[in-house]
A and B are shown apart, each in its own frame.
Chain A
Amino acid sequence: MREETKKKVLSILTLTFVIAFAFSLGWGIYQFRMLQDYKMKTENQYKRALNDLVNNLDEVETCMSKVMVANSPAQKVLYLGETWKGSESAVSKMGQLPADEVGINYVDTLMNQVSDFSKSLTRKVASVEGMTPEELKMFNDMHDRVIDVNRAVQQISTQFYAENLAWLDKQPGFLERIGIGKILKTAAQGGESNGDNQGGQEASQQIPTSVGGGLKQLDTSLQKYPPFTYQGELDKHYVEKPLGLPQGDASESKAVSVAKDFLADMGYKNADPKITGLSQGPMGGYNMTYRDVYLEVSKKGGVLTYYRDQRDINERQMDVKKAVDQAYTAIQKLGWNLVVTSTEDLGDHVQVDAVAQESGVRLYPDKVRMTIAMDNGQVTGFDANPYYAYHHDRNLNKVLTLEQAKTKLNKNFAIIENRMAVISKLGTDEALCYEFRGTALGEEYLIYINALDGSEEKICRIVNTPRGKLIQ
């Protein structure tokens, strides 16, 4: 009797194990197939990006060669346009390839510059200005460098197909993958290769062992060339030389008193801001806090560049018009001469952009952005960084008369209002323009006619968004 029970239990156990094993085996096969499937899909995306990149580069290289021989503006514009879009696309494709770090910046920089430079040339050539000999020379230099990049990437691609090259050099080991071996990189994007390039020289001689490695070598080989400099360059996000900061350095105590005065003007009684940090760079200075308020006073010139009160906002008590009035009151109190150019209704706040005005000419680059709290009309934000970065004495003498400028407009364009304005162009370039606001074909536009040479400098479309007017 006992023997039988034992046997029974044993056979049930065996059966359970067999079923469990079969089940887990099935599950494993299923998982493995799924993984293969996902891997294939990802690989295909990578391959597609690599092939597109190779094509883009080849296309750009060919078009650049044609630009230099073309004689008619029509052909020049056509190939410049293709160069511009092709190089933009190459940068985008490069960003889709796997990488173990963000460090392949030199290729990106070169292609972005080619794109940027061709864009500005497209405009020049189309307006029958033509390319200057210097511009042609630079374009030629860029072409040479693009040829190098093109050949290197083709080499990688050929090797990829011939030798089944890996995408990346060394994969992280199992321990790293599960996060034990190495600390995960934080928000700190970026890789180490750019920082220490002592290994660069020998690396460029090696035959790449992976696509990522090959691109990294290419990047290193480009580092030795001097960068291109031309009018209207990119990299406008960072201002190297602020034009509007007053002379002289401010001490800590001076900075604190500047902040105190500002807070008094904004309606804080006996405010006592404390320095909590320093910021570097040409616009850098003293960072201060007071209750919910954060302020920055520049070291050079000792002016208040940034203020924000992050207090809780209560129920809305006013409309946008009232908020703009409040902004004007504050501007006056601070002793500025600004005109409000746009507003955005953020609900609890209204954001107001105001620009400097000089003898009737709006200086759009010299901008101050304010926010007004809608519960009591207090100014809760003040950002004068753009103003201090760009404000300087400008030559505001025009050549064209208003009537002459009007003849440059599209026949269907019905003018609503016009004024003079300085606008920013590509990079740090500016232009003195006639600004025309008007409608055509059921849409509203801002059109800028250069007041010196009469060219159509810029066209902005105005659309009504739920939060206010958007200038595109």
Chain B
Amino acid sequence: MYPDGKRRKEGTTFKIVTISLVLCLILSAASQAALGDRTLSQGSKGAEVKDLQKRLVQIGFQVGNVDGVYGKATAAAVKRFQKSRGIKVDGLAGSNTIDELKKLTGESTTSSGKKIGIKNTDVQLLAHCIYAEGRGEPYLGQVAIGACVMNRIKSSKFPHTIAGVIYQPQAFSAVDDGQINIQPDDGAVKAAREAMNGSDPTGGAIYYFNPAKTTNKFVWARPQIKQIGSHIFTR
């Protein structure tokens, strides 16, 4: 048997170790708090906010700088996201909002649950093209621009990929003057997704032009299909 003093000493050591362990756990939990552990709101800061911002940007909701600070721009992006998903619009990133965001930014899986990456990554490039070429156009007009790109892929006259069509020299003025690099808004991303999904409000167009700004004989000579917004869509 041990003398009394030693046992007491052992007890104290045990307490200290336990307390420090618990402290460590709490601290590490606090520093690595995962997105969704708590409701984030304007004024929140930290890694979770940064994760939130990254995910919002990934699906086209611009937050300004991805800086880990839940500012006005982030709150506005959260509101736009909520509106687009039919969630109550309050600008707070609660569990509903975060779950929906996590779901949409997740990877695709096979039927047995194996992760196989994100499908349709080209949607970002198409959204850039739509935004650069057609910001200010009605939503349907933006889908129509995306549909034109998708129709070109199906046409025998053009390359067979989204990047091939968009970066073909002189194909889109917005590519040649660099506007293609402007971050698209969520409307453009939505339009891009819809066009990639096969929606075509143009009736099979592969060219379009703005009649108020174009003198190019070639496009004026193309058989016209219809006008959507300020663009005339042609075959």
Contacts and interface: CB of A to CB of B under 8 A. Distances in A.
Interface of A: 88, 91-92, 94-103, 105, 108-109, 112-113, 116, 183-196, 233-239, 277-281, 283-284, 287, 294, 306, 308, 310, 313-316, 344, 346-348, 351, 369, 374-375, 383, 385, 439, 442-444, 462-467, 470, 472
A97 B161 CA distance: 16
Residue among B100, B177, B216, B235 facing the most chain A CB atoms (10 A cut-off): B216
B151 A234 contact: no
28 contacts: A92-B160, A95-B165, A102-B170, A184-B177, A187-B133, A187-B173, A187-B174, A188-B173, A188-B208, A188-B209, A188-B216, A189-B173, A190-B219, A191-B170, A194-B218, A195-B217, A233-B156, A237-B200, A238-B206, A277-B226, A281-B223, A308-B140, A314-B86, A315-B87, A315-B88, A375-B86, A439-B111, A466-B104
Given A188-B209, A192-B218, A316-B85, A470 B119 contact: yes
Contacts of B111: 439, 442-444, 462, 464
B161 A234 contact: no
B156 A234 contact: yes
A238 B160 contact: no
A236 B173 contact: no
B107 to A, nearest CB: 8
B89 to A, nearest CB: 8
Contacts of A184: 173, 177
B73 interface: no
A196 B89 CA distance: 55
A83 B21 CA distance: 66
A287 B201 CA distance: 12
A347 B86 contact: yes
B70 to A, nearest CB: 22
Contact of A99 (B170, B209, B216): B170
Given A351-B197, A470-B119, A189 B171 contact: yes
A348 B159 CA distance: 34
B117 to A, nearest CB: 10
Interface string B193-235: 0000111110110111110011111110111111100010001
Nearest to B222: A190
A416 B120 CA distance: 27
B87 A185 contact: no
B225 A102 contact: no
Contacts of B173: 184-189
B226 A188 contact: no
Interface in B42-99: 83-89
A233 B103 CA distance: 40
Given A186-B214, A310-B140, 15 more contacts: A91-B160, A105-B158, A108-B159, A112-B160, A187-B174, A190-B219, A192-B217, A238-B206, A277-B227, A280-B223, A281-B225, A306-B201, A313-B83, A385-B203, A442-B114
